[in-house]
């Protein structure tokens, strides 16, 4: 994603990557609002770097799950149906999201001087 020598901003993105990330979220959201399916809306994301494009799409799906499932109590199956994608993809994104949260929690705990409990 980032070229060597470009400083990261939030989330490890360069300023340009952050701009593309935000624009990608807007593009996907606008596509969905216009009646496109998730894949069609994601295909409209303009990111020259394939890895950045993948991150944008993955992040959008995870934010959607957080908002609609965890905050809104909508089932994963309903989210999948609304987006027009397999329920397995939504479930995989949910599992990945929870693993990322767990890893980040452990990292924060350790940086704050805590010790991981023995199993």
Q: What is the pLDDT of residues 6-49, one digit of tens each?
A: 444 446 889 999 999 999 999 999 999 999 999 999 999 987 78
Q: 61, exposed or middle or buried, with CB in 10 Å at 0-12, 13-18, 19+?
A: buried
Sequence length of the chain is 119
Task: Please report, rounded to a whole number, the percentage of residues in the chain having pLDDT higher than 90.
Answer: 71
Question: In terms of Cα–Cα distance, which of 52, 56, 51, 2 is closest to 27?
Answer: 56
- Give the mean model confidence (pLDDT) for residues 69-79: 95
What pLDDT was estimated at residue 73? 93
Alpha helices in 1-119 (DSSP H): 15-33, 38-43, 50-65, 76-83, 87-111
Task: Please report, rounded to a whole number, the percentage of residues in the chain having pLDDT higher than 70.
Answer: 86
Question: In terms of Cα–Cα distance, which of 84, 88, 36, 91 is closest to 69?
Answer: 91
């Amino acid at each position: 994603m980032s070229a060597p020598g470009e400083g990261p901003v939030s989330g490890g993105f360069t300023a340009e990557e952050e701009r593309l990330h935000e624009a990608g979220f807007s593009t996907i959201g606008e596509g969905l609002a216009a009646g496109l399916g998730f894949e069609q809306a994601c295909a409209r994301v303009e990111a020259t770097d394939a890895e950045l494009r993948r991150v944008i799409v993955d992040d959008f799906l995870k934010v959607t799950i957080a908002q609609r499932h965890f905050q809104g109590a909508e089932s994963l199956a309903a989210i999948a149906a609304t987006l027009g994608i397999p329920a397995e993809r939504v479930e995989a994104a949910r599992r990945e999201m929870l693993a990322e949260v767990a890893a980040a929690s452990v990292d924060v705990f350790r940086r704050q001087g805590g010790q991981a409990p023995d199993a």
